[in-house]
Each structure stands twice: as structure tokens, then as C-alpha cells.
């Protein structure tokens, strides 16, 4: 199901465009960020105006209808099937969930740091698409900073491994130590490089890197002191190696049951460990039925995650998240008063411009330098007059008085 709902990087712009709709007066209707990794597909939405009301409300009613239709077509699931497969958080529980994700508390391996980069890239993609507005930008920037603090101050990820390392741990438990073995890594991206690093740390003697581009594989392999190959070499490598780790999702399986079966027939009884860390999967699940083959994938890592009391680091991160959410609450309350402050400054600027325009005729004897000083003087007076009420309004927003003070400004200044 995660495979069917995964949104690859190249498809993100198309999915995000459903958040780009504007109202008739040009206001953004809904902000959106999409986070899709090997372990999750999550959609963050924030409506800038009252959202459409469904006649039959469901869990997906907070998303743009066109996006839901796109997910349905992409996954082959009906709207009802989608709704039954997904979870939803509203308001602060959604914010808390994102903080937990960034800190690695919701990962396959608690504290793993790769997810922080994935969240940052998802936010960057939304920024590029123009769908991350002031609300989600405030949320994601706060969460990313919070994740950095948790790792720097508490060290939640200091002793943590990652999904690749966890999979190799499981492989060693099933087939024995990997030291002096021969490994094949499919993929040259970030995840592939993480796996190569872990294999080297475990003193694997021979590592081959395989990619759809033989040139790319050779370039990456040269940096790591390994051998690079194109996909055409994979059948031969499967006959020789002891472990294959795939990190690249594909619409078609890169490692088929037929390829594995043919390799096992010439391996003289030597076992083969397959690790599939890709979404969509690139190793055929049917390969697990081939005698002598041990297959691990993302699902097996989920079931293998230990259940137990949280560590002291996890408890401290939970406390840190609570503090970060309190700080975020103040920043969100400030957002409530920004439009009022903006309108106040715009009205003052309009008055200043009007007064200066009338004064220009009466002060026609002034040269350009003197007139520039008059303009600077007018701007300085406006700025000093509005500084205190603007600062006070932001402070009162944090004290819970934003609405009352904003309404007072609207009445007093007719904005």
C-alpha cells in the first residue's frame, strides 16, 4: 500500500500544483507540503480561508479535491479506500507529529538523522512550487530547527543507526557476520551511499555498486574505492556475492525471482541475502520463495522494531518538543496580527505619500537633496509613531490578546 501511495521526487511538482489555486482576489486558498519517503507518505495542508465543506465529510475533506482525485488515480484506490488507509491530525497534534518525525522519534530506527534532510527537501520542494505559505513555512522552519537542536543538545541521533544499518544488523542475525563478504549495492543516491558506508564500517571486503547508468556507478564507486557496474552486470554479480542491497525504487522489479533463481542454481548451495530498502520495491517479493534466499524489506524492519520503554534521550526530546511547540504557538499567534500591522503601515504610507505630494507644490523652491531630506523626515516620523503599537500588538498576540487588540486597531484606524 505504501508503494502505491508513494510519490517519487520527480512527481512532486505535479502533486503540489493542486495547492496552487487562488481565490478571485488572488489570495491563496490552501498551502501544502508533501513528504514521501521509504517509510511514509504525508500531506500537510493549511487553509488560508474557510475550506470547502463536503456533503459527506471524511478524513480527506481537508485536502484539495483535485489532489485527492490525483492520489486515487495514482494509487488505483477509490476515495473510500484511500480514506480507510490514511490517518489525519488536525491543529497542534499535526504540528507535534511533524516535530516527532523530524527528530526521528517516528522512524524505523529511533533518532535516525536521514529523515531531517528528507523533511527539509520536502519543504524546499513546496517553496519552489509556491505552495508553502506563511503558516506551513512557520511550522516547517520551527520543526527543522527543533530537530537540529534535539540532535545537537540532546544527542538523540548520536548512537542511532539508520534503516540501512538496521537492515544489515538483521542480515547478520540471519546469515552471520558480513566481514570479508561480497556485497552488491544497487543505487548511487543518498541511501546507497549510506549503505556503502555501513558495509565498509563492517569490514565487507568487496563492494560492487550498480546503477542504471554505468558511468554514474563508476564515478561513485571510484570515490568509495569500489567497483561500478551497469544493470546488465547484475545477473553475474548475483551469482558471486553474498548480499544484495537495493536502495532505488522502480516501477519494474530490478531483481526478479527468475534472476535470483538462476543465480542460486550456480551458487553451489551458498545462501543469498536480499535487502530491499526501496519504495516502490525493486526486489520481487517472490524471490523470498527461492531456496537459500533470505529477503528483508521495509515491512520486515517495521515488524522488527523493538518495543520497550523510551530511552532517557527520547524522554528529553519529548520535553524539548513540548518547549518548541509552546514557542511555535507564540509565533502562530503573531501571524494573526500580521495582516493588521501590514494594513496599518500601508495606510500610514499612503497618507505620507498624499501629504508629501501636496507639500511638493508648496515647496517647489527646494532642490532635490533638500526634498529627499523632507521625504526621509516624513518616513522617520511614521516609523517612530507605528513602532510602539506594532511591537505591542505582537507582544499581546503572545499573551492571548491578539484578537482584541487587532479589533481595536481596525476600529481606531479604519483598516
Sign (positive or negative) of CA dihedral 280, 283, 287, 292: negative
Strands 30-37 and 206-211: unpaired
Residue 133: name the closest of 51, 27, 53, 8 by CA: 27
* The three three-digit cell numbers of residue 31, written as one number: 498551502
What phi-psi label fits residue 154: left (phi over 0), alpha (psi between -120 and 50 degrees) or beta?
alpha
Q: What are the grid coordinates assigned to 365, written together?
A: 523652491
> Around 347, how many Cα atoms within 13 Å sit in the side-chain half-sphere?
14
CA distance readout (Å), 239 to 244, 265, 266, 267 = 11, 9, 7, 6
For residue 38, indicate whether it is catalytic: yes
Question: Residue 213: which of 252, 187, 192 has the closest Cα?
Answer: 187
DSSP state of 287: G
| Strand 293-297 versus strand 272-276 pairing type | parallel
Candidates 38, 103, 226, 241; catalytic one: 38
CA distance 404 to 412: 12
Catalytic residues: 38
Amino acid at each position: 500500500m505504501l508503494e502505491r501511495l508513494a510519490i517519487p521526487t520527480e512527481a512532486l511538482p505535479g502533486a503540489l500544483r493542486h495547492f496552487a489555486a487562488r481565490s478571485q482576489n488572488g489570495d491563496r486558498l490552501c498551502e501544502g507540503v508533501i513528504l514521501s519517503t521509504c517509510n511514509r507518505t504525508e500531506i500537510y495542508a493549511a487553509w488560508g480561508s474557510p475550506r470547502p465543506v463536503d456533503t459527506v465529510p471524511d478524513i480527506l475533506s481537508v485536502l484539495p479535491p483535485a489532489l485527492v482525485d490525483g492520489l486515487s488515480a495514482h494509487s488505483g484506490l477509490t476515495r473510500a479506500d484511500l480514506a480507510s488507509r490514511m490517518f489525519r491530525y488536525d491543529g497542534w497534534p499535526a504540528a507535534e507529529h511533524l516535530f516527532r518525525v523530524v527528530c526521528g522519534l517516528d522512524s524505523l530506527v529511533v533518532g535516525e538523522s536521514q529523515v531531517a534532510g528528507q523533511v527539509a527537501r520536502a519543504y524546499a520542494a513546496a517553496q519552489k512550487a509556491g505552495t508553502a505559505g506563511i503558516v506551513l513555512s512557520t511550522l516547517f522552519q520551527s520543526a527543522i530547527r527543533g530537530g537540529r537542536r534535539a540532535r545537537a543538545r540532546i544527542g538523540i541521533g548520536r548512537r542511532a543507526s539508520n534503516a540501512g544499518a538496521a537492515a544489515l544488523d538483521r542480515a547478520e542475525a540471519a546469515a552471520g557476520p558480513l566481514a570479508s563478504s561480497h556485497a552488491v549495492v544497487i543505487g548511487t543516491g543518498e541511501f546507497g551511499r549510506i549503505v556503502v558506508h555501513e558495509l565498509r564500517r563492517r569490514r565487507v571486503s568487496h563492494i560492487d555498486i550498480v546503477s542504471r547508468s554505468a558511468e554514474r556507478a563508476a564515478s561513485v564507486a571510484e570515490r568509495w574505492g569500489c567497483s561500478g557496474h551497469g544493470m546488465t552486470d547484475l545477473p553475474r554479480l548475483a551469482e558471486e556475492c553474498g548480499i544484495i542491497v537495493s536502495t532505488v525504487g522502480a516501477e519494474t522489479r530490478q531483481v526478479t525471482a527468475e534472476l535470483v533463481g538462476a543465480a542460486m542454481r550456480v551458487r553451489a548451495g551458498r545462501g543469498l541475502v536480499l535487502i530491499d530498502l526501496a519504495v516502490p520495491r525493486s526486489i520481487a517479493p517472490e524471490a523470498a520463495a527461492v531456496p537459500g534466499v533470505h529477503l528483508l524489506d521495509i515491512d520486515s524492519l517495521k515488524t522488527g522494531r523493538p518495543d520497550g520503554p523510551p530511552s532517557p534521550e527520547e524522554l528529553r526530546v519529548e520535553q524539548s518538543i513540548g518547549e518548541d511547540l509552546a514557542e511555535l504557538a507564540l509565533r502562530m499567534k503573531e501571524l494573526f496580527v500580521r495582516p493588521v500591522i501590514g494594513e496599518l503601515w500601508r495606510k500610514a504610507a499612503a497618507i505620507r505619500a498624499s501629504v508629501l505630494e501636496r507639500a511638493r507644490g508648496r515647496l517647489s523652491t527646494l532642490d532635490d537633496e533638500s526634498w529627499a531630506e523632507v521625504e526621509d523626515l516624513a518616513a522617520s516620523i511614521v516609523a517612530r509613531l507605528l513602532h510602539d503599537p506594532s511591537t505591542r500588538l505582537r507582544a499581546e498576540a503572545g499573551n492571548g490578546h491578539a484578537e482584541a487588540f487587532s479589533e481595536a486597531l481596525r476600529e481606531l484606524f479604519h483598516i
